[in-house]
Structure 1
Amino acid sequence: MVAMHKMSLDFYEDSFALIALHCNIEDHKLVYTINKFLKCGFKRRKDNLVFSDTISLPIFEWKDTITDRYWTIISNTGQSEESNENTGLFNDMPSIKKQHLIPEYKNVDYFLKLEQEDLDLESAILKSILAIPEIITAYTINTDTLKSKNNLIF
């Protein structure tokens, strides 16, 4: 009799914390502001995250070698142009379609993903982020109940 072994794709669970950021500034200005206030070293990754056929999102990352943390900032919203099939007044204008990295949180502008062994420092980081004047609000998201958690694997 032959034994069969199955491997599940959910075998390896990465532990990370996720902080939702609400702000009205562009991604490069947000990263500059966080670098300035939190003394971080975020830099833009050379390759974007390809989310769908027409949307790619820029990723900013920082490997903190002192505390052994890997941080990433990514936008939640991407836009794509679709050809308009309508005839009428706006037939030459392409329609803009918004897609969200995490559809459960459509109102969130950016996500800060913290990959580290010790997730207890999450509240101290959140408190520091809330002190930044350009950020309207920020809060943690429970990643265990997140339906589209696979979108954050990059």
Structure 2
Amino acid sequence: MALHKLQVDDFYDDSYKLIAIHSRLEDYRLAYLLNKHLELRLERKEKDIDFKYLESSYSIFEWDNETEYILWNLISNVCKKEEDSLYSSGTLFSDNEKVLKTFHLISEYKKVDYFLKISEESQSINEKNILSKLQDIPQIITSYTVDPLKIKSKDHLIF
């Protein structure tokens, strides 16, 4: 009997561009600046991206440009969460110390603060033009394109 193996990755073929953004701005401020400089209409979605049973959540802003068939997403790559420490001082009355844990949506890019995902049907987006407009924003430290096929955890970008 012959053994047939199906690869699930073969069925998912979504064409999108991914731009990494380094910026210390809050997510809503960055979305405002992108709206202003790139002439977008990004809005915060009601639900964040949650992983591992609410262990970490990442903010997401979205704009569906229906006239040009382009879906824009601004996704936070960093989640900082305060948790109780498991450290024991060995005393009867111990202080509950809090520890700030940091999680990353795409763990290969731990220094990236945000990702701009551009899903399009017609391949009409000029990446160099977008990158030059992003570099003109003084609050953005740097930005560059990322090849989505080289990311191990690219499933985290499916929403």
Question: Which one-letter code corresponds to 2:144 in the other structure?
Answer: Y
Counterpart contact for 1:16–1:119, Cα < 8 Å = no
Residue 138 of structure 2 is matched in structure 1 by 133
Q: Which stretch of the first structure deviates more once superposed, 141-150 or 25-34? A: 141-150
Question: CA 1:135 to 1:87, structure 2 compared with 1: closer, same or farther past 3 Å?
Answer: same
SS class of match (2:126): helix
Q: Matched residue of 2:100: which SS?
A: strand
Deviations 1:98-150 (A, max 9, x none): 11011111000000000013065222111111111111110000112111111
RMSD: 2.1
1:1-150 → structure 2 map (5 Å cutoff): 7-10=6-9, 11-53=11-53, 54-88=55-89, 91-117=95-121, 118=123, 121-150=126-155
**TM-score, normalisation: structure 2:** 0.86
Looking at structure 2, the residues matched to 109 and 87 of structure 1 have their Cα atoms a distance apart, in angstroms, of 33
Q: Which amino acid in the other structure matches residue 129 of structure 2?
A: A
Mapped partners of 2:12, 2:86: distance in 1: 44
Deviation at 1:51, TM superposition (A): 2.0
The TM-score normalised by the length of structure 1 is 0.89
Q: Distance in 1 between matches of 2:31 and 2:158?
A: 20
- SS of the counterpart of 2:117? strand
Q: Which segment is superposed worse, 124-133 or 13-22?
A: 124-133
In 2, Cα distance between the equivalents of 1:140 and 1:119?
Answer: 16
Q: Percentage identity across aligned positions?
A: 41
Mind listing any 5+ residue stretches in structure 1 that lack a counterpart?
Answer: none
- Aligned residue pairs total 153
Segments of 5+ residues of structure 2 without an aligned counterpart are none
Deviation at 1:4, TM superposition (A): 8.0
- Preserved CA contact (<8 Å) 1:84 1:91: no
